[in-house]
Every structure is written in structure tokens, then in C-alpha cells.
Amino acid sequence: SGQEGAVFQSRLPFNKMTPNEEACFPDISRSGILGHRVFLNIRNSLLHMWVDNPKIQLSFEIALKNLPPPFDSEPSLVRRVHSFLERHGFINFGIFKRLKPIPAKKLGKVIVIGAGISGLAVAHQLQQFGMDVIVLEARDRVGGRISTFRKNSYIADVGAMVVTGVYGNPMTILSKQIGMDLVPIQQTCPLYGPDGKPVPKEKDDVIEREFNRLLESASYLSHRLDFNYAGDCPVSLGDALEWIISMQEMQVMHKRGQHMQEIIATQTKIIEQRRRLKTLRDTIGKLKNEHLAMINQRKPKGTDGDLKYCYQEFNIRNTQIKMEETISTFHDLHAEEKQMLAKLHELEQNRPSDVYLSSRDRLILDWHFANLEFANATRLNNLSLKHWDQDDDFEFIGHHTTVRNGYSCVPVALTENLDIRVNSAVKEIKYGTKGVEVVAENLKTSNSQMTYKADLVVCTLTLGVLKVAVAHKESQQSNTVKFDPPLPDWKQQAIKRLGFGNLNKVVLCFDRIFWDPNANLFGHVGSTTASRGEMFLFWSISSSPVLLALVAGMAANLVESVTDDIIIGRCMSVLKNIFGNTSVPQPKETVVTRWRSDPWARGSYSYVSVGSSGSDYDLLAAPVIPPSSKDAEGLPRLFFAGEHTIRNYPATVHGAYLSGLREAGRIADYYLGYP
Ligand code: F2N
């Protein structure tokens, strides 16, 4: 709450200017501490005003009026800060009541390809900035990878469904503007074994700790030991984890060997000790006999003279002392022997386990790997060990929530006043120094093609669609997009390097709830490592009896080649295994996704593949300037937005949205200048 909260919500540092701010305000940047203070005060106050009331446009006039003195004394600076925040999508974004009309005279024409969240964001912003915007969308709906199944009272998100953390998340602002019913997710997730029986909590905890330890070890391997290449080949996270597991197995064998050696050493010591005790016992016996003999032959004093008497007494005492010393040594060694026996006993009782993980434990560990494969939408063997989690520092804090009324309410709200042509599949994007031409096919009226002309184009085609476009440059394959001229090599290479994964969902709508209604999640441990991702997790987040089963990792691609019936059958047998045959009714409605086969997605979301890194996201974001015959570089005509173009927030709805805001700011900077 308060100003600091609003600045945090806007992902900006409270006490300092960002590099972008310094670049846009070079005069302030050079002006010393006082100038910085004034700037930060104005900027932070404006953010506070916006975050507090994002349903109404924060106009420059209102901002100035509400600024406390002395910060209102420099209207020109306030105007600059206001324009900066507006242009870069820190204020006046999303759906809000405008107080000032959008400029009537249109300042440049834009074609946005794709009406996913990024396309809608960029289109909405540019329209607000006064540009003439048209959106071309191949599907018959908006939202792209945000897609909600709705039938009767059933609601289920078959694409994105989680708002991952609320603080700093632009979705939090959108939720205040439109009717988004955000519900926190209960993170507890009971696990059921391959036999359908619950995995005991203690066992679950132990394996989860081991999973986290393995990840930490992988991170150590990468970041401390710089073990990121094997020869010339970059190492994957999956390779690293399997190596660590093998090392743990070797360690277990080594420990067992060490343990055996310790037992043998202790046994040898005991034998040696017993030998010494026997020698001592013999010596004591001998001394005792000697001593007795001397006592028996003892002569009284004076008969043989004093010297002889003294000698005799000396010998008797000497022998006695020797005997006493030997007995004491005997006792010491005997006590030591006892200790040795105790140690041997303990060693024999505490033999280390034969294996690192039992086969059952390994399957529970595989469940955690499946969960990681779900988050990354690919097998662990495809993830770069060094960079797979490069965006971790930018994760938002606060609750993870789902959208109870369906995530599609967001893209639908963002269509407000936009010119969106659905069923328009883009076939060709021509770009040159003078402008762009986009050829689209109307999928409703077959064979009818339309050519749209504009000053620039924003391409939000998914990375999967881009991959097909650059892989089949000359092919006649349907549903591919042709770039004319072809994309520059640096862009093509980045498209090829970065990974585009897959993840599928199965929606099961029942007439009643037969699972624990208090848990949002439950997990199912697969019966083999290879099938670990198949229906490994069930979500129950709807207020109606709907379950969502997730298919991740290797299984995600495999299920796309089998029929719905087979997949639903698999789900039902997993559920019956857990809840019993008679408790599980037939589902009333079902949906199975196939994101990889979807021609307008060709997968689920991006990941940092082996050989790629965070900088590929930057390359995918970079606009393209058409090749020109003259030496002078012209304006970029081809811009890119989307989940795969935002290094710090990839693979998410909020990231895609922020990429749209970013491109709108960039385009306005190139084409509109500053007011
Ligand atoms: C064309 C053409 C053409 C194409 N002509 N138009 C949790 C948290 C973070 C990450 C993951 C997860 C767990 C996974 C999850 O459940 N989420 C999820 C997501 C994607 C998918 C596919 C599934 C199954 C599940 C999930 C989540 O909870 N929380 C999130 O924040 N994100 C999640 N994602 C990823 C997001 O859905 C995705 O990053 C975002 O929606 C992408 O938006 P973009 O605008 O970048 O792409 P898209 O919506 O595909 O828009 C491109 C449009 O272009 C699309 O409408 C196409 O039809 C269109 N198009 N070809 C004309 N030739």
C-alpha cells in the first residue's frame, strides 16, 4: 500500500532512476541528487495516483492538480514524466474510463498480427496513442493461448489459468478494471502412488527435500563449478540431474564399502586386543607365581646378613609392583576391548542402505520432475542447464491465483473499440522502406484473400508458428507465414535456438464432486519414469464439479497422436484407481487439448533450450529494419511482441501483455515522437 507499494506494483525501483528513465531524461540524469529527488517524487506520486484508481484515466491535468507542493511547481517536468509513464505503459493501460478523447486525426497505420494477449495489448495502446490499428486473427475468437471452455455451468481454462503472483503483476491492475474473479490457489497437493494409495506425508516430504537438494546441486554444478559444457556440447538440466543421481548412487556404494572396511578394521583391532590381553594374562600368572615363590622362600632378617635381606625384600616388592601395574594395564585394555565390541555392534546394526532411492521413491521423485517439466513445458533434457531459470529473479511475489470466471474475460475486455478481423489467417508479410503489406486469407469465405497496407506491422505469431515459417521458407505447406524479404539471419537463428514446448490439458466435467473439495490439487505418481508426465496432476479450481488433468513432458506430445476416447479412458482409470471404481461417474463433458498440433500455436510456450540463453529473447524482441538500397538506415517496419520476446517474464500471460506495452512504447517513440 501507499506510494512505495504503487512503485513496487509498477516494477520500478523506488529510490532510483532506471537506465531507461536516465536515457529519456538525460537532463535530470545529469542534474545531481536534487533533480533526481524531484523526478522520483513526481514519478512515484503519479504511479500512486494511477494504481489507487486505475479505472479512470490519469490525465496530466489531474496529476498536476493532485501533486503536493513543491512538486507541482514545474508543470513542464510533470508533463514530461506523465507522457513518459503513459507511453511506456506504467499508467493509463488496460481498460479505464477516458477523460480525454483519443486524437481524431490518425497518426500512422498499424497492422497487428494475432489477437492473443500481446497483440491486444499493443493494439489497444497504439489506438489510445492515436494510431490507426487493425488486428488480423486466424482463429474465430480472440485470446490465443488464453482460451476458456464454457458450457452450461462448466468453466475451464484450457490454456493459461494461473496468475503467478500478484505484486508487480499487470494482471492485478487489470483485475481491478474488469470483472476478474481472482481466487488464491491452495498449494497443498496430496500425492497418490501408482497403486492409487496415498503417499504417506513423511515419505512425500523426504522425497521433495531430495528433489530440492538435487536442483541445488545442479545449480552448484552450473554456477560454481561452471560445468556447462561436456566437450563442445552444452549440458542440459536433465543430463545434470541424472549425473548427480548416478553420483549419489556411487556415493551410496562407496559408503557401503567404507562401512565394510570399518567393520573389518574394528574386528582386526579386537583380535589384536585379545592377543595382547592373553599375553598380559600370562605375564600376570607368571609374576604371581614368582611372587608366591619368593614369599614362600622368604628368609628372616639377620641370618644371611643385611644386604641379602634387602635384596630379597626389594625383589618381592618389585615383583608385586610389576604385577599390580600389569593388572592395571590389563583392565585398561579390557575396557578398550569392550568399547571396540560396542562399536562393532553399532556398525553392524547401522549398515547404510544398499540403494540411493528405492524404485518406489524414484517414481515419487519422477513426479517432481514431471511437475518441473510442466512448468517449463518440455522434457528436462531439452532445458539449458545454465539458463533454464534465467527469469527466476523476476518472479512476482504474493498469491498464485486462478480466474474463477475464466481467463478469457481479459482478452475479451481488451477488444474494446478495436478493429479485429477474426478468421483472417496471415499468409505473407511484405515489408520495405516505404511500409508494409500483409496478405491474409479469410477462413470463412475460402480462397478470398485480402491485402492490407500499413506503415508498420507488429507480429505476435507464436514462436512455434515462427519456427515453421523459417524452417519451410520455400515450402507450400499450408498455414505457414512467408516473410518477404526473409527475416534477417540473426532473427532466424534466434527463432531456431529458443525452445517452444508443449503442455496439454484434459477437462473432465462431472455431475458431482467425488474428490476432496478442500484441495485444489492432487497428484498421481506414474508407474514408469517415461510416463511420469501423463495426468500427473489434477486441478479442481472451478466452483462446479470440474477436474483438469495435466499432461506434461514426454507424454504431452505423445497424447496428441491418440484419440480423445483413449485419453479420457486413461484419465478415468487413474481416477478410479484412486477413488474406487464405484465412486467415479462418467464425465458429462470433456475437452482434450492438442496445442502442438494447433496450427495457430504449434506448441504451448517458450523455454530456454540447450544452446540458447536469455539473450535470444532480446533478439526475438528486436524490430527489423527493411534492407534498403541506400546507406542510410530507415525506420523499422517489422516489430515483435509475444510471450517469447520478453526475457524477464517469458512463457506467461503477464509477460506477453508487458511485451505488448513495450512495443507500443517503442513504435510510438519511432513514429509519433513526443508531444
Ligand atoms: C495468427 C496466425 C496467422 C497465429 N494469422 N493470426 C504457470 C505459470 C507460468 C507458466 C506456466 C504455467 C503453467 C502453465 C499454464 O497453465 N499456463 C498455460 C499457458 C499456455 C498454454 C498453452 C497452456 C496450456 C497453459 C499458463 C498460466 O497458467 N499462466 C500464465 O501466465 N501463462 C500460461 N501459459 C502461457 C500463456 O498462455 C502465454 O504465454 C500467453 O497467452 C501468450 O500470449 P501471446 O499473445 O504471446 O500469444 P498467443 O496468445 O498465442 O497469440 C498469438 C495469436 O496469433 C493467436 O491468437 C493465434 O491464433 C494468432 N495467429 N498464426 C493470424 N497465420
Which pairing describes strands 191-192 and 521-524: parallel, antiparallel, or unpaired?
Answer: parallel
Rounded mean pLDDT, 460-468: 97
Rounded mean pLDDT, 318-330: 95
Neighbours of 15 (CB within 10 A): 10
Does the pLDDT at position 477 exceed 70? no
pLDDT at 106: 78
Rounded mean pLDDT, 154-171: 97
Residue to mutate (ligand 1; options 111, 113, 147, 162; most atoms within 8 A of CB): 162
pLDDT at 473: 53
pLDDT at 478: 64
* Ligand 1 and 600: CB distance under 6 A: yes
Q: Is the Cβ–Cβ distance between 607 and 500 less than 8 Å?
A: yes
Residue to mutate (ligand 1; options 605, 640, 646, 654; most atoms within 8 A of CB): 605
pLDDT at 307: 84
Does the pLDDT at position 475 exceed 60? no
Residue to mutate (ligand 1; options 136, 401, 652, 663; most atoms within 8 A of CB): 652
Rounded mean pLDDT, 176-202: 95
Rounded mean pLDDT, 39-52: 97
pLDDT at 618: 98
* Ligand 1 and 137: CB distance under 6 A: yes
Closest-CA residue, ligand 1 atom 24, reads 159
The helix (H) or strand (E) run that includes residue 427 is strand 424-432
* Ligand 1 and 604: CB distance under 6 A: yes
Does the pLDDT at position 305 exceed 70? no
Cα three-residue angle 266-267-269, rounded to 5 degrees: 65
pLDDT at 89: 98
What's the CA gap between 102 and 127, in Å, rounded? Answer: 8
pLDDT at 302: 74
Does the pLDDT at position 153 exceed 60? yes
pLDDT at 539: 97
C-alpha 642 – ligand 1 centre gap (Å): 9
* Ligand 1 and 148: CB distance under 6 A: no
Does the pLDDT at position 474 exceed 60? no
Q: Is the Cβ–Cβ distance between 236 and 381 less than 8 Å?
A: yes
Does the pLDDT at position 149 exceed 70? yes
C-alpha 603 – ligand 1 centre gap (Å): 9
pLDDT in tens, 483-517: 999 999 999 999 999 999 999 999 999 999 999 98
Banded pLDDT at 185 (limits 50, 70, 90): very high
Banded pLDDT at 306 (limits 50, 70, 90): confident
C-alpha 582 – ligand 1 centre gap (Å): 38
Rounded mean pLDDT, 439-460: 93
pLDDT in tens, 226-244: 999 988 899 999 999 999 9
Does the pLDDT at position 135 exceed 80? yes
pLDDT in tens, 69-91: 898 899 999 999 999 999 999 99
What's the CA gap between 248 and 318, in Å, rounded? Answer: 61
> Do you find a cis peptide bond into 70, omega within 30 degrees of 0?
yes
What DSSP string describes 56-83?
Answer: B---HHHHHHHSPTTGGG-HHHHHHHHH
- Please state the atom number of ligand 1 nearest to the C-alpha of residue 145: 49
C-alpha 144 – ligand 1 centre gap (Å): 6
Mean per-residue pLDDT of the chain: 94
Give the ipTM: 0.99
- Please state the atom number of ligand 1 nearest to the C-alpha of residue 642: 46
pLDDT in tens, 626-674: 998 666 678 999 999 999 999 999 999 999 999 999 999 999 999 998 7
What's the CA gap between 195 and 198, in Å, rounded? Answer: 9
Banded pLDDT at 445 (limits 50, 70, 90): confident
Does the pLDDT at position 179 exceed 60? yes
Q: Is the Cβ–Cβ distance between 429 and 452 less than 8 Å?
A: no
Classify burial at 99, counting beta carbons within 10 Å of its beta carbon; exposed 0-12, middle 13-18, buried 19 or more: exposed
Closest-CA residue, ligand 1 atom 46, reads 642
pLDDT at 356: 84
What's the CA gap between 123 and 116, in Å, rounded? Answer: 11
Phi, psi of 546 (to 5 degrees): -120, 135
pLDDT at 303: 63
Cell of 43: 514519478
Closest-CA residue, ligand 1 atom 22, reads 604
Residue to mutate (ligand 1; options 111, 112, 124, 145; most atoms within 8 A of CB): 145
What's the CA gap between 305 and 534, in Å, rounded? Answer: 106
pLDDT at 476: 56
pLDDT at 632: 65
Rounded mean pLDDT, 217-233: 93
Closest-CA residue, ligand 1 atom 21, reads 159
Backbone dihedral region of 513: left (phi > 0), alpha (psi from -120 to 50 degrees) or beta?
beta
pLDDT in tens, 577-590: 999 999 999 999 99
C-alpha 519 – ligand 1 centre gap (Å): 27
Does the pLDDT at position 102 exceed 60? yes
Closest-CA residue, ligand 1 atom 35, reads 652
Which pairing describes strands 132-136 and 109-113: parallel, antiparallel, or unpaired?
Answer: parallel
Rounded mean pLDDT, 403-420: 96
* Ligand 1 and 210: CB distance under 6 A: no
* Ligand 1 and 367: CB distance under 6 A: no
pLDDT at 127: 96
Q: Is the Cβ–Cβ distance between 502 and 378 less than 8 Å?
A: yes
Does the pLDDT at position 538 exceed 80? yes
* Ligand 1 and 603: CB distance under 6 A: no
Residue to mutate (ligand 1; options 118, 550, 551, 653; most atoms within 8 A of CB): 653
